[in-house]
A and B are shown apart, each in its own frame.
Chain A
């Protein structure tokens, strides 16, 4: 599904991603963990080219994103992304947040888009909030709307960039609940998170990154109970 080869990313002289090679299968839930500054968010942002790639290739479902000739907007529409800071459009209602990309990018009619949006709001439990503006929602509700908005494009893959890090603790559960449901429905997901419980419970595989490299990857149980590398051990001893 996703194939990353020799991915490198630099910001000026700072090399953030040094040589990343990762394969992600369809319906797989991959959780990326690592200390801050390890490059895990940058890695995720390279998977839909929100961050430009310095070198290497990213291929999703047979199409190479990093190829200069591809229509990047079309490919991005097939990769959903959920951000730490939600990034809902504050001047649009909850419903409009979801319908806007469906109407402008997928070119659906307004009625069809609204029907789709309402189905999605139902799914994340926020149908009663359709007409309100994002500012009146709690953090957890905002993030669920953001997930619904991304799902509106019917993506093949969903990327989550620390989706619960900006939330009050009591709201983390409702967002993780929606993500878990998505995973059970067979969505291919790449999740950057500090929620080790989620990684253990929902993840098919955990990738540990440090200093721009993938240090270790394994099934959650193996990686958490029996880490092979010293750096993984040191990190896990701090967070678990």
Chain B
């Protein structure tokens, strides 16, 4: 079997462009996911069932349905209905943000609930109010414990962003499919696509390991 490296060479600039978009969509997804996830975690920990219920079902829906189905739902139905129109990139970013917020919320909740209750008791006994206890005592410790699972979530998100190719967001996989379609070859483009994702996830893994060591996560 001959290996046509010229296809990879020709498409290389497009793969790099696709990589940029993949990184952008993943970073936006994980950042928005963290911000939203934090508030959803707080909502889900409310002692009042009526307040808790919408957050429980938000998480149930986003974790319990396939990401591709969510992507189609947002791209073809929800976002056009709300915004009037949408682009593939916006749809992917919105879907990834909401989807990851559900997972991140559970990560934060687990982190907060893993902190010994003596910590909050001690802080309250010193006269700190609920907000101060959360801000100065519980959150810093919970966040530190959340870093390893957050890193995993980021890696999963980066790979899942490839679903964007299904609605023609011009990410790495999109260009692989384009190359495959043009030359009617399957090995070269898809191996190249797999390789780029692997480089990205491995880089991220090393970066996260380094961060964990720096922050002395246990």
Contacts and interface: CB of A to CB of B under 8 A. Distances in A.
Are A and B interaction partners? yes
Interface residues of B, number: 18
Interface residues of chain B: helix, strand, loop or mixed (majority):
helix
A50 B125 contact: yes
B127 interface: yes
B127 A105 contact: yes
B126 A87 contact: no
A81 interface: yes
Interface string A46-71: 00101000000000000000000000
B118 A77 contact: no
A87 B136 contact: no
B132 A90 contact: no
Contacts of A80: 125-126
3 closest A-B pairs by CB: A77-B127, A87-B122, A101-B126
Contact of A48 (B116, B125, B137): B125
Given A85-B118, A87-B119, A76 B124 contact: yes
A105 B126 CA distance: 8
A100 interface: yes
A91 interface: yes
A150 interface: yes
Contacts of A87: 116, 118-119, 121-122
B141 interface: yes
Report which residue of A80, A88, A104, A105 has the largest number of chain B beta carbons within 10 angstroms of its beta carbon. A104
Nearest to A105: B127
The interface size bin for chain A is: 20 to 34
B129 interface: yes
A153 interface: yes
B63 interface: no
A229 interface: no
A147 interface: no
Interface of A: 48, 50, 73-74, 76-81, 83, 85, 87-91, 100-101, 104-105, 146, 149-150, 153
B136 A100 contact: yes
A112 to B, nearest CB: 17
A96 to B, nearest CB: 10
B121 A101 contact: no
A105 B129 CA distance: 8
Contacts of B127: 73-74, 76-78, 101, 105, 153
B124 A149 contact: no
B126 A150 contact: yes
